[in-house]
Structure 1
Amino acid sequence: MRVFVTGATGFVGSAVVAELERRGHQVIGLARSERAARALLQSGIGIHRGDVDAPESLIPVLSEVDAVIHTAFNHDFSRYLENCEADRRLLDVLARALAGTDKALIATSATVVTETNGLMTEHKPASEQVPRSASEAFLSFADEGVRTAVVRLPPSVHGAGDAAFVPALIALARQHGASAYIGDGTNRWPAVHRDDAASLFCDAVEQPRPGARYHAVAETDIPFRDIAEAIGEGLGLPVRSLPVEQAETHFGWLAMFAAIDNPTSSDWTRKMTGWASHQAGLIQDMTGARYFDPQTR
């Protein structure tokens, strides 16, 4: 199978590319710069020059491939609403171009796309009140000859090279001289190792179920306090509880995520695809992946 991957040089996308190749697939990666093109060529995979901010630039490659995996997303949270809308537009363009082809279009979403309380399952649709739900609007093209599906990622996709929420929490702990959690810290985060997440993207493209929502979740409900304590231990810093009104002072833009309670099941995903997690859990990986090296931001 020939698979086009956006975000092919990114943290998750590069792992997806490696897993696709391991399974014997041919990969074409999106390159929006000379630097990205060189990196892809050095990896021995094909390239398509284009830009996710110009969705039409991706259309020519669609006739050359059997499936598309979209992992690119702009994580600049100062422009979060704009970025979510841009992702919706991109996926709409791709889905319309693929209509009637019966090709798979697998995109990235998040486990935090619903506003419902309790355990998050694959059967719960995204809430229109959550900005990232824009990344799931294209699922409706399952009725127009596109094998659409999303892989929802948890707040922590961890592993060597992680530059997202956990490294940001570590940097804040260094800055403030303490690791922190909000209230009693019993709010829960799901997590997955990036290699396990990559495996699920490949399962999704090999076993397309139009309109499916998959959960790349290895650990369902890690108390945020446990993450904060692991950071404190890793840095040799105290760990403290913060009242809600002080959370933004410590966490800044991360305050909303530090407070989120997002227990998430992957039972249906495992049953439907046979997917299983094999890598280290988050707390163990925070040491093994060198999260606390001095150069970690």
Structure 2
Amino acid sequence: MNVFITGGTGYLGPATIAALNAAGHSVSALVRTPREVPGATTVLGSLTDLDVLRSAASHADAVIHLAADYGGDGARVDREAALAMLSASGVYVHTGGVWVYGDTDGIADEDAPQNPPAIVAWRAENERLVLEAGGRLVMPGLVYGGHAGLIEQFFAGPLQYIGDGANRWPLVHREDIADLYVRALDAPAGARYLGVGPGEPTLREVVGALGGSSSISLEAARASMGPIAEAFALDQRFTSARAHTELGWTPRFPDPLGELARPR
């Protein structure tokens, strides 16, 4: 396939492009400014350039949407970009995330009720529209690997966990989730897949792996981190049995704490 990808220069992009190339796919990647993207040709534009997105999607066999707009109107930008690409593409894979489920009661799967914190509440409607229109949805856990994700961004400073830190985090290595995106190209229309790796470390264990050992209240975390603190305080457990059964996806990285503890 020729696969058009947004977010090719972001945290997940390089790993996903490498996984697509390894599977024999060619890749074109959206870029906002002229630049080289290893493993891909480039398409100049942004998520608000809907004509560019439609054209690129129509010339590809499939689309993987990884990019996000972090402006104040990000929900609308994401929705319009997604539906523009989906309408022009034969196969469309959208990025979701596990935070939309809120705290889980036991081990949850894709069909569990959702109760998102405010910071990701907008995702639920966009994801519903994508699925109803025949898109595929990949829902990663909190992604780690390469010391460049949200974990290091928010916890590499004071190295404090929130509250008692006993809440569990569903983690996934970025190379494992990249493999799931590739496999989702063969999924049926309307399918969604949770992508979480083995183990359910607590926030306290994650911070300990990074070298921290002290606590911060949720109120203090909100003050220093903003609304994302509510998401980091969620207690979540998930199964990726559907991705394993239907797509043959098996994570290869079993030791997130060991990876996080490696010197930067």
Distance of 1:125 and 1:150 partners within structure 2:
16
- Are the counterparts in 1 of residues 5 and 64 from structure 2 also a CA contact under 8 Å? yes
Which residue of structure 2 lines up, in the alignment, with residue 284 of structure 1? 258
- Structure 1 residues 161, 135: CA separation in 2 closer, same or farther (over 3 Å shift)? farther
Distance of 1:87 and 1:48 partners within structure 2:
18
Identity %, equivalent residues: 29
Distance of 1:85 and 1:125 partners within structure 2:
24
Residue 92 (structure 1) aligned to one of 74, 83, 98: 83
Letter of the 1:7 partner, please give it: G
Residue 189 (structure 1) aligned to one of 138, 147, 169: 169
Runs of 4+ in 1 over 6 A off after TM superposition: none
Render the CA deviation track for 1:139-188: whole Å, top value 9, x for unaligned: 1012xxxxx11110112x111152423332112x1xxxxx3223322111
Render the CA deviation track for 1:174-230: whole Å, top value 9, x for unaligned: xxxxx322332211110111000100000001x221111111110352211111222
- Structure 1 residues 161, 4: CA separation in 2 closer, same or farther (over 3 Å shift)? farther
In structure 2, the residue corresponding to 1:222 is in which secondary structure?
Answer: coil
Letter of the 1:9 partner, please give it: T
Letter of the 2:248 partner, please give it: G
TM-score by length of 2: 0.88
Residues 54-93 of structure 1 mapped to structure 2, 5 A cutoff = 54-74=49-69, 76=70, 79=71, 82-93=73-84
Which residue of structure 2 lines up, in the alignment, with residue 39 of structure 1? 36
Distance of 2:63 and 2:217 partners within structure 1:
45
Going by fraction, where is helix more abundant, 1 or 2?
1
Q: Which runs of 5+ in 2 are unaligned?
A: none
Residue 234 (structure 2) aligned to one of 227, 236, 260: 260
- Structure 1 residues 165, 16: CA separation in 2 closer, same or farther (over 3 Å shift)? same
- Are the counterparts in 1 of residues 221 and 229 from structure 2 also a CA contact under 8 Å? yes
Which residue of structure 2 lines up, in the alignment, with residue 123 of structure 1? 111
The reply to whether residue 275 of structure 1 matches residue 262 of structure 2 is no
- Are the counterparts in 1 of residues 20 and 27 from structure 2 also a CA contact under 8 Å? yes
Distance of 2:39 and 2:222 partners within structure 1:
45
State the shift of 1:252 in Å.
4.3
- Structure 1 residues 46, 189: CA separation in 2 closer, same or farther (over 3 Å shift)? same
Residues 1-297 of structure 1 mapped to structure 2, 5 A cutoff = 1-34=1-34, 38-40=35-37, 43-74=38-69, 76=70, 79=71, 82-98=73-89, 103-115=90-102, 117-118=104-105, 119-124=107-112, 130-136=121-127, 137-142=129-134, 148-155=135-142, 157-171=143-157, 173=158, 179-205=159-185, 207-219=186-198, 221-232=200-211, 239-249=213-223, 251-288=225-262, 290=263, 293=264
- Are the counterparts in 2 of residues 127 and 133 from structure 1 also a CA contact under 8 Å? no
Q: Which moved more, 1:63-72 or 1:211-220?
A: 211-220
**Larger radius of gyration between Structure 1 and Structure 2:** 1
- Structure 1 residues 220, 150: CA separation in 2 closer, same or farther (over 3 Å shift)? farther
Q: Which runs of 5+ in 1 are unaligned?
A: 143-147, 174-178
Q: Output the aligned Cα RMSD.
A: 2.2
State the shift of 1:62 in Å.
2.2
In structure 1, the residue corresponding to 2:133 is in which secondary structure?
Answer: helix
- Are the counterparts in 1 of residues 104 and 237 from structure 2 also a CA contact under 8 Å? no
- Are the counterparts in 2 of residues 2 and 25 from structure 1 also a CA contact under 8 Å? yes
- Are the counterparts in 2 of residues 3 and 28 from structure 1 also a CA contact under 8 Å? yes
State the shift of 1:135 in Å.
3.7
Letter of the 2:75 partner, please give it: C
Which residue of structure 2 lines up, in the alignment, with residue 145 of structure 1? none
- Structure 1 residues 49, 252: CA separation in 2 closer, same or farther (over 3 Å shift)? closer
Which residue of structure 2 lines up, in the alignment, with residue 176 of structure 1? none
How many pairs were matched up? 259
Render the CA deviation track for 1:32-80: whole Å, top value 9, x for unaligned: 211xxx222xx25222222112222211122321111111113x4xx46
- Structure 1 residues 108, 126: CA separation in 2 closer, same or farther (over 3 Å shift)? farther
TM-score by length of 1: 0.79
